[in-house]
Chains A and B, each alone.
Chain A
């Protein structure tokens, strides 16, 4: 019992929700189209405005036509009614002897109608109204029994009581016009028509004043005409609105199409295709827009080319300088080695100088080597020597190389390696150099605390993360660390003789592999560098098996704020991944 109504209650709600969702989606779609299409907006507003104008004009015109048509008809009917009334008076005023002459003599013509003068008059009016009657006549005199005649098949209830009252109130001979339904015998539907009623003006005669004469004019022809005019007006109006919309659409298209082409060209230009140009047709504003666009693109391309040129010259210069410095350095080196080897024989001051010179020469040499290396990258001359290797071996070799330095800084390595081999295609020399650089860097900034090196792997990629617990990085420094000659605190000395180019070269190496080298750091939390590489050389990298933010930091954040457990790392992660 309780479950089924619950179900029933839920279903309509779901339906409503579904409908609402769909409607919202459709509305969203419409809104998007509306916002994006200038053409649609122009056409719509043109249609709305023209519909309003056409409607107002149409109503005005129709009223004018109706008024004119009915006025004409009424004027004609009134004059006809006046003439008929005169005829009726003529019949009624005839001396009674004349009226009932034997009808045999008068033949079959107009003289039908027989004994009553009013009846004869009505017969005459029936004849006047035409073979296909243009109007019907009702004549009556309530003061005299039997004096109530109509022609030919009009139903007397076509005259409303109100009109009779008005006619009897008005002066004799004055018209009262009424528009209403006319009923005919043998016709079910009433016909819209006009009734003109008058009391016969019998002043100056012997007749009594009770003669009422009504002319009933059917207006079905007029109604039909007006209806067809109305239909035509509506059709013409609709056609006009559609035409205007089509014109608006055409005109907007002429403007919008070049603008759209320009937009597409700008998009392609922005994507780096500097040779993109627009076709220029004519001399109008749009053509001038295209010309300006083309000029802009040309200038932009020229400037970019110049800049490229300049940067190439600079790189060449650095490379040349490094090469040129090498020869004198070798000579200096040999001399310094001699001095250094013979320092035992010098006085302490000179011996110390020889040592210093030796140290600085070493640094100078490695800096020169790094400069040469990096200028090779800049020249695009770096090449990969790819072999499948186990990342764990590479890590172990790099750690072994760094052991000595770590001991000097009383730092210990904490290795977290998976149990099974993590094979990947890579240039092991370069990867080893990356890891060495990362480890040196961690030792230098690790302030003697433990350094965690972890290796992760999944189906497509392998990753190595190096975590230190030093001062960490300030926000925004995650990318700057890879810049050439960048240092976190310019006042701090380089203790282990880093050249300032290590991380820059490492990043170039990682990029050469199609991998990522990313940094994370927070003040007081230390920092972590992660190298992610595809398992197969050249395959695109989609994600990393290790997270950029160390797991314990992430967990701590989750504890601290329940609200954003996933968001923060994801943002950091995503933001760096896109780099």
Chain B
């Protein structure tokens, strides 16, 4: 009994990692490079590590035909192996015809995704590469919520979607990890080629190259469960007695929305509401997603549209006095809104619409010593002018989408604005088709959030598609293109044309002479931004952005979104893009005319104290790199969907707003190792039994007298043997 106890203690107590450097080749995987769990109110999606899908033999799927091996579980190649497999797979092979195989395979531990070495071009016809759904989301679309149509009655992405409900909304049994570093990828490929490629006679044998990876999520179920369990009172017994902190198991997706007001909003020192202004909101979404959310750059889903809006804002910023004068006279204003989380049921615009309903937009808290900005309400917004998917039009044609019913009620002014948009586009050689039938529905856009809040808000959505998306990689890992000079030039022309049309419509709205502004979009700026935001590998790689940065950006977080190009919203705001866009907006609309005498950051920040409307930012010029104090009325506001915001308990899990949440997860490194034949374990078991029997036999033949020998020494006999 004692000896058994000793063995158990020995095995249980001795766990060392002393040899790990001789066993494992470790590849570090940062936050955001792997598939993890996300939730909406009713479901969980994404991936979770289990005991069954951690370890596996590495196999390659390089072409469509290789999926036949997946069906047969590679038994012909590895007959002696009966475990699971990690499939090394380029992202462009995830398609409609392969996804079901990946989902249903019983022998797959996971997939190791990497960017295909073959470049993708924006106009390349790739069948179904979008990770978005076929139809507008029933949980958030204005028409579904008002019972005006059935789910999927109207398809918008049927040509592009890989699965009907979208890959983002898939609950996977397997794990997924994305390898973005070429060095890491070559290590995996080398490991595979050394040990797992069949020999000339077609056979393979031990040892094999295996891989282990583990991403463990803290939460499960759905947002409702997660939200409930995440409350402090539910985690009383999990609290750390020293720090008082409770572990977080999931979190609401939240990030920054950016609002820029070129023309001042009416303000007063009293709390009385003045309903005297009208607004046109020029918007563009800031986010996209993919199956592994962070690794979607969203070039066409997000960036081209944003460049067009920034270009329009910059033109406006150079002639602010004209715009302000026109706004004051007409009592109509335009403002820019970049919403985050729009691809996940309109988190940003939903939160903004909620705040408008509560009189806290754009100013949340009122201090008595600060002038109160007149709150903007949804019914004061005449138009939501949004641009989407710029740069990939078929031919030279654009469409403007309006809501048919609302259009019918106010045709005159809307027609006038659409004419201006058309004129702006035509000035650059593009056509515009106006989709104004009474049954016309607005595709997924930020307008839906405001449409739900007020019945008069109208939509003007400028996009290169009619009923369904033409671009088949919206919200996808593959929305990352190799642009030829011709493609780039055409995209820049489209961005310029759309920026011009935005300016034209805005000018007409506020009553400014259109001719004064139409021709003033800075094409060179558009080309620069295209290079910096789309062609460059990271936001701050190009000279323009480096100067704009001025060493202010620090890679504080070890996450994909903070260190690589990503437009995913995420839950911890560990993404760089809101900061990038905020600085670009300040560059576009900020002015140092009134602050030329300010020579330090401290003085600049002092100017912003007690200001309601204006902010003062110490920021360098992207052209010269010289810092100056820029006055602007731009706000970067953290927005959380009211349905999951602990500060709005009355709206908890209200499906009028987004209910998306993310699980907190622990991500481990990828470990490559050699797998040996396990059959030798049984040989060792026999050896162990023989060793034990032989030891008992041999030692059993000895006794105390074997070792206690009377050598005739008196001292030894007396008890002092040495």
Q: Is the A/B pair a real complex? A: no
Q: Hey, which bits of chain A sit against chain B, CB under 8 A?
A: none
Q: Hey, which bits of chain B sit against chain A, CB under 8 A?
A: none
